[in-house]
Structure 1
Amino acid sequence: MIEELKGTGVALATPMNEDYSIDFGSLSKLLDHILLGNADYIVVQGTTGESPVFSWSQKLAILRYVLEHLAGRKPVVFGLGGNNTYDLIEKSKDLKTFELAAILSASPYYSKPSQEGILRHYRMLADAYPHPIILYNVPSRTASNMSAATTVKLGEHSNIIAMKEASGDLAQCKEILEKRPSGMMMLSGDDALAHDIIKMGGEGVISVIGNLMPQEFTRMVNSTIAGDITAGSKMNADLKVAYDMLSEEGNPTSLKAGLEVIGIGQRTVKPPLFDATEGLVEKWKAYLGDRLS
């Protein structure tokens, strides 16, 4: 297992100006906010970073900026997923010189491949990629589930190091944890289930709330990993309202409303997403309360 990818990874949001250009000043503020919260690593251009709406050159510009700003202080994972296997292999060649801890690659969307198709896709990527791969199972977005059996088989590949599980199926997570090869990590892809998955033996989480409340969430994760289940459970319960609000108008729309409230960027998201309502912003103001002072 890659020790530096245990604990709390934060799926970095991408602040934007009103014209949808990247707000690099706010991106700096967001990175510093996450660093102060003591998260363990940063994930660039995942779903929370609005990866579908940026060109390849923009994605690389964001990645370069993050790496330069962090200057080695935290490991960086880069999101590179899609449903064109050969295109992903070609794109990976552009990443050879980047110092990345891993690539996070979502299961192919829209095409709805069979389990054999998913196996072949990831094995081809793992053979070609210059960095280790974290699998990402998120059926609500891809329209297909990567089964526990498929995950376990893929974990046998030397260049596949972890699974980010966002199926919401704890029984499936349990099966993977029981059958996975040694050295394969299990990372929660759902903030609200991170506590349960870590209790079952998982190694951590790739988080949305870590953008907004990194200190509180990281403390919960670390307590649970350390075996202090009572403290972790209480902290997790205290965050439930935030978990619910983060899904109220979708991710990252809901997240950016909260970030706007704490003074990091504005709520702008790029079409086809739509900016958060004033009602949700007011809810965040009420919830965050003392954190504004």
Structure 2
Amino acid sequence: MFQGSMVALVTPMRRDGSIDMDALDRLLDWHLSAGTDAIVAVGTTGESATLDFEEHCAVISHVVQRIAGRIPVIAGTGANATREAIHLTQCAKDAGADACLLVTPYYNKPTQQGLFLHYQAVAEAVDVPQILYNVPGRTAVDLLPETVERLASVPNIVGLKEALGRPERTRELVERVGGRIDLYSGDDATALDFLLAGGQGVISVTANVAPAAMHQMCAAARAGDVAQAREINTRLDGLHHALFHEANPIPVKWAVSQMGLMPDGIRLPLTPLSEPFHAAVLDAMRQAGIAVDH
């Protein structure tokens, strides 16, 4: 249903933590011109955990209206309470989002049956395409391939974002559900190999900083031009790693602010990028051919 480079968009904020809608418009226009294939609004990289319900829905609606159907908008609507996930997903549908991305319930550590029932409940409650999102390093729960296989039969579930970053997991998912639902990488460092193994795209943090290059890399991989895809990915490899020197989205928000595209605001309990990591992020940006203000 979706493919290519889908940016896990940061939510621009002023230094006082308020959302900067003007900067959001600048980012969206920039991504459209750079060839980004889809926008993921208010996902976990968009600080969904610190936005209240009204802000969450307002940002989704704003993005949908600004994009105006030119590329797909996927709304982050996951929560660790099933009722809340349903409310957010309904809000995104009402706003006109093309699909929703639902991270596994965090902290609760549900069983595999609990995960199945959670996703089934949201899919049955809201008639909108839904993408599962597995990121065990952040949620403390792993959505196993056998559970994904069960969920692939649930109407409205159309894809999986898998951020484990392990080749053996990718292969098993392709074998179990490839062709039934779409598979997207959620780990920039291994995204190219994921695409070459049968994935349809990447929901990318790096694309916040290098959208054109991520689009080109994905396009080359999907076209079978492995040499070109690897050449582009080599330039981006430093970014893939530098943007995780501290917890996401701390480094990526700092990097985008250095490009002059938005202020450097971030909400507590997250804090701005620590000074010892500034040079590493800037070096990775320059290696990728990105101009910076400093």
**C-alpha deviation, 1:161, in angstroms:** 0.3
Match of 2:133 in 1: 136
**C-alpha deviation, 1:181, in angstroms:** 5.8
TM-score, normalised by the number of residues in structure 2 = 0.94
* Matches of 2:93 and 2:66, distance apart in 1: 20
1:236 aligns with 2:233: yes
Q: 1:225 aligns with which of 222, 229, 253?
A: 222
Structure 1 contact 15–268 (Cα < 8 Å) conserved: yes
Match of 1:7 in 2: 4
Match of 1:262 in 2: 259
Which segment is superposed worse, 209-218 or 60-69? 60-69
What amino acid maps onto 1:109 in structure 2? Y
Q: 1:47 aligns with which of 44, 47, 52?
A: 44
Match of 2:34 in 1: 37
TM-score, normalised by the number of residues in structure 1 = 0.94
Matches within 5 A, 1:62-101: 62-101=59-98
Structure 1 contact 92–130 (Cα < 8 Å) conserved: no
- Any unmatched runs of 5+ in structure 1? none
**CA deviations over 1:231-270 (Å, ceiling 9, x no partner):** 1112112211111110012211100121111111132210
CA spacing shift, 1:179–1:21, aligned 2, 3 Å: same
SS at 2:95's partner residue?
coil
**C-alpha deviation, 1:29, in angstroms:** 1.5
**CA deviations over 1:100-133 (Å, ceiling 9, x no partner):** 2111001111111111111111111111112111
What amino acid maps onto 1:218 in structure 2? H
What amino acid maps onto 1:147 in structure 2? L
SS at 1:105's partner residue?
strand
What amino acid maps onto 1:31 in structure 2? L
CA spacing shift, 1:171–1:285, aligned 2, 3 Å: closer
- Any unmatched runs of 5+ in structure 2? none
* Matches of 1:282 and 1:116, distance apart in 2: 45
Match of 1:292 in 2: 291
What amino acid maps onto 1:292 in structure 2? A
* Matches of 1:30 and 1:228, distance apart in 2: 29
What amino acid maps onto 1:116 in structure 2? Q
CA spacing shift, 1:34–1:96, aligned 2, 3 Å: closer
* Matches of 2:39 and 2:92, distance apart in 1: 17
SS at 1:109's partner residue?
coil
Which segment is superposed worse, 140-149 or 28-37? 28-37
What amino acid maps onto 1:291 in structure 2? I
Give the number of aligned pairs. Answer: 290
* Matches of 1:143 and 1:71, distance apart in 2: 36
* Matches of 1:270 and 1:161, distance apart in 2: 32
SS at 1:197's partner residue?
helix
* Matches of 1:281 and 1:30, distance apart in 2: 22
* Matches of 1:185 and 1:157, distance apart in 2: 14
**CA deviations over 1:118-169 (Å, ceiling 9, x no partner):** 1111111111112111000000111011111111111111210000001122
Matches within 5 A, 1:145-184: 145-180=142-177, 182-184=179-181
**C-alpha deviation, 1:82, in angstroms:** 1.4
SS at 1:248's partner residue?
coil
* Matches of 1:285 and 1:86, distance apart in 2: 42
Structure 2 contact 14–264 (Cα < 8 Å) conserved: no
**C-alpha deviation, 1:287, in angstroms:** 4.0
